[in-house]
Structure 1
Amino acid sequence: MIKRSAKTVIFLFLCCFTTSVFAQKIVDRILVLVDDRIITQVAFEEAFFPVRERIESAGYGPEETRALIERYRSEMLNQMIDQTITDIAVEEAGIQISEQEVDQAVEQFRLSNDLSVEAFEKALAAEGMTLDQYRTQVRDQMLRSRLVNYQVRSRIVITREQIEAYYKKNARDFGAVKRYRLAHILLPFPSSMTIDQEKELQTRAEAMVQRLLSGKNFAELAAEESSSRIAGSDGELGWFDAESLSPVIREAIVVLEENEISRPVRTPQGIQIFRLLEKGMQNPRPLDEVADGIADKLYDEEVNKRFQTWVTELREKVHVRILD
């Protein structure tokens, strides 16, 4: 999955455009007036056609399909109105983005992801996007950023604290894995164990859990009762990835909060009681390697936030008339 820091949200659904053959099947008319600009039926249906196709091929029932189509038609029309308002503002402000600037932004994005030209285009294709469509989105985002600065007249500053907070909150996105620091008490199965012996061990383990829940120190009980050969005298086992644990142990562990005690768990080695000492995301890529990408993402999010606020305010001043 490649980063999307330059993708615009205005045309979230405009992934591709159909040919004029589709347009010829529709009687054209004006759907919306935005000041002296128009949005036509043909333009809208061409933009919405791929969205409709995906909905209709997704396997929903008839009623859900109709509801989704109605919902996304409304969202699409509002996005096209916002885009038209943006186009007017860009022209009035005299803001322009050159082809060279778009080339530089695309190339910087490709290099920052360490992709060859071929790999970059394949990655875009996996996202359902052509290079030309990506260039259009890059241009839209650059126009939006400049328009925000022009209208709001305040620079957006992303602080180190914001970057670090995002890094910690989204550690999994940077290769971190969920890990658990565990301690256990092991009651091993005897050789040639009978059903009665297993029941006796189960009863003993359940009694231990009750003692622990009543305040008995886990390390002390482990030293007194556990027969583990791999844990310390206090029962500590160390850190484990969730994926490295057997399914039955993982099921008992993942529901625990720190310092909680598991139910008795039957394993091939015997009946075990676990204590979750600590948990957390570990081993992500170093912050310095990903800080620039995080800053870009946070910057784009702030631009989009301010832009949407500005568009909402401007929409109240612009004459918008929906004829449909």
Structure 2
Amino acid sequence: MQKGSRLSQIFVLFFAPVIVFSLLFAPLISLSSYESLNAVMAIVGPKSISSLDYEEGIERYKNLSRFFPNYRKKGSLHAQVIDFLIDRAVVDNVADEESIQVNEKRIEAEIQKRMEAQGISDLEQFKKAVQTQFNLPYDVWLEDLPYQIKKGQLLQIKVSPPLPSEQEVLAWYNKNKSKVGSEFKFREIVFSPSNASIDEESRVFNELTEIRNKSLKDPSFFKLVASGPRNESRYRLNGGLVNWVPTFELFKTHPTTASVLSQVGGPGKISEVFRDDRKRYCLVYIEGMRPTPLDAVRKGIQGFLFREKEQTSFEEWVTNTRKNTSISIFDPIYIKEHNISNPEEKYNID
């Protein structure tokens, strides 16, 4: 009994400190790791930015930074991400002050509105359209949507972008005529195969090829055929003539024809035989080509310039709002990079 009792005493004396150490310090190690993830890197008004926010923000910033102006990409990636999070916090604070709430229902309503605007009813199709339009994974776009909703609301109540002037519209048009494209005056001949057999397809193709060859020698022959009963063009009664249409307008209904016209060249040129979007065989003869007139693209240019002004005005508003926001920086890398002497002083990037 004495021997067993002595062994028990030795066990207690030797292992008890180990157990006590484990109980006391193991939770502290775990807590230290937790606190590291939640260390406050900055405080923006009532909102704090933690290390966890920073870690999650890195990938978001990398995905979205190509949409930001160059002057917002100063310094190291580390500093850029923190500035990105500060700017977002500034917007969130003002949105809260203005009672702009973005909940799940609001997001669903926004998605539905955008789907209707694009004439899309299937969500999967909309996801593909978003990825194509913004060159972003749909999940990344969706994660950023609450911010975009807030931005849209704040543009209405806090920012007043000026409308583009006539001089700005004219200057943009003169500088970007190649971008607005051309408009064409052309004649078309359209034949449809009577069935889907290879022989019938070949017959129609060969018939149009022969018409093209004759028209190259005698352009009046093209007009003669275009006016005849075989031509299925809706403009047959006018000799197949389509009178001055911008390619961007034609592209909405006949994208293949619009593409062919852009490739054929100038007046007097005849296209090769091609199949349009309705699987019909076609020829086009260009009678006229000119830059798209300003009046035809004025509204489009005004809309483009206004969106640019919206973006610029919003960026300026964020910068000015940030200057008037109480911001404290605690991240040592950011403090060193920006030579901040007092980490708790109000700081705003120039």
Normalised by the length of structure 1, the TM-score is 0.44
Which is higher, the Rg of structure 1 or of structure 2?
2
Relative contact order higher in (CA < 8 Å, ≥ 6 apart): 1
Question: When you count helix as a share of all residues, which structure comes out higher?
Answer: 2
Normalised by the length of structure 2, the TM-score is 0.41
